[in-house]
Structure 1
Amino acid sequence: MRKITAGMFIAADGVVESPDKWHFPYFNDEMGAAVTAQLGTADTILLGRVTYDTFVGAWPAREAADADDAMAKSLGDARKIVVSRSPLEFTWRNSEQLQGDLIESVTKLKAEPGGPIALSGSVSVVRQLLAAGLIDELHLFVHPIAVGRGLRLFDDTADPVPLKLLSSAAFTTGVLHVVYGPADQA
């Protein structure tokens, strides 16, 4: 069975919305290596439409400008499955829209042969897959900033999601890379 990992930039107060407004001062080589290990090694990437739009606005151009950009090439080469209720047209290679119910489709995808499946951002998708027990590793990059306002990974309507700490590391910027798995996972 394929492993599903999800990566989220998150503020100390739980905000995950608009990391482009607060994340970059904390990005360094340590975080780059951790993000590459989680996202850049996957052969399939699940993305919500908003995250896909953000990625397609940056990564194809980076790959075209620098053929040696390993992360840009990896993302371009990966199968990208976009979760959206609206019909979509794609300009980035290897992109397709998820067909059918999210949980059923991801359960089938996880059972297919292949390598790791990764998510980046895509809060609503991560929430649903966590609730369904389909995420094997939740990589939280906890930034030392309280944003105050914005969408949080877990809101007031969320049911409890028991998690077990798999690993943690502190980066020199003060960012904590915390990896959780399902509480019943060894």
Structure 2
Amino acid sequence: MRKIIASLFISLDGVVEAPDQWHFPYFNDEMGAAVDATLGRTDTLLLGRKTYDGFAGAWPEREAAGGEDAGFAKKLGDARKVVVSGQDLSFTWRNSERLEGGLVDGVAALKREPGGDIAMSGSVSVVRELLAHGLLDELHLMVHPIALCKGMRLFEEGEATMPLRLLSSTTFRTGVLHLVYALAESAGDATYDDAKVHLPQDEA
């Protein structure tokens, strides 16, 4: 079965809103390679409508302009782009289509299709829904060493607890942490009495 891998730029205090306004000072060759390893090497992108609109409004023009990012823009253009939306959509960017069958059933069906992994970028509301329904296989967080103190956060207050398991971690020269998580079973119940046995013990 195909995996769904979501990548998000996130601040130290959990903000994921408008990364184009704060994350570029931290973008270096290490981050570029990490982005290309997911978005640039997939045959399918799963995107929320707002994220799709932003991509479709920028990347085709960048591909046509033939600049330094034209190669990456072509990769995105060549990929199949499946858009999550409750409305009928008209597309101008090639290889774009609307997800059929509703979010949960549609994504489950998409995962069963033949092909490589499915990549996501942004699309925070879709990421939340997929996590809640156990459909997201990997969550790649690029944690930037900045506290924004305002803006939409990845996890909202009032949502159910969501245990995660760390699969890998990489530190970029800029101080950005590239953390890869998967959903995990509950850590179980414990109290301070359970934890204190792990504190350093003074020798008698």
Matched, 1:20 2:20: yes
SS in 1 for 2:75: helix
Which piece of structure 1 moves more, 80-89 or 12-21? 80-89
Partner of 2:48: 48
Q: Does the Cα contact within 8 Å between 1:67 and 1:73 map onto a contact in 2?
A: no
Higher relative contact order (CA 8 A, sep 6+): 1
1:106 — aligned with what? 107
- Separation of aligned partners in 1, 2:105 and 2:158: 23
**Are the counterparts in 2 of residues 165 and 179 from structure 1 also a CA contact under 8 Å?**
yes
2:76 corresponds to: 75
CA distance in 2, matches of 1:136, 1:67: 34
Shift, 1:157, TM fit? 2.4
Separation in structure 2 between the aligned mates of residue 142 and residue 102 of structure 1, nearest angstrom: 27
Q: Residue 157 in 1 paired to residue 151 in 2? A: no
Q: What amino acid sits opposite 1:100 in the alignment?
A: G
Partner-residue secondary structure (3-state), 2:73: helix
Give the 3-state SS of the residue equivalent to 2:37 in structure 1.
helix
DSSP 3-state at the match of 1:75:
helix
Which letter does structure 1 place at the counterpart of 2:12? A
Q: Equivalent residue for 2:188?
A: none
Q: How many Å separate the matches in 1 of 2:126 and 2:158?
A: 15
5+ long unaligned stretches in structure 1? none
| Bigger Rg, structure 1 or 2 | 2
Within the alignment, does 1:140 sit opposite 2:141 as a pair? yes
**Residue 65 (structure 2) aligns with:** 65
RMSD: 1.3
- Match for residue 173 of structure 1? 174
Please name the residue that 2:199 is paired with. none
1:75-100 CA-to-partner distances (Å, cap 9, x unmatched) read 10111011112221111000011122
State the aligned residue count.
Answer: 184
Partner of 1:5: 5
The TM-score with structure 2 as length reference comes to 0.87
- How far is the alpha carbon of 1:67 from its aligned partner? 7.9
The residue type equivalent to 1:58 in the other structure is: A
* Structure 2: gaps of 5 or more residues: 186-204
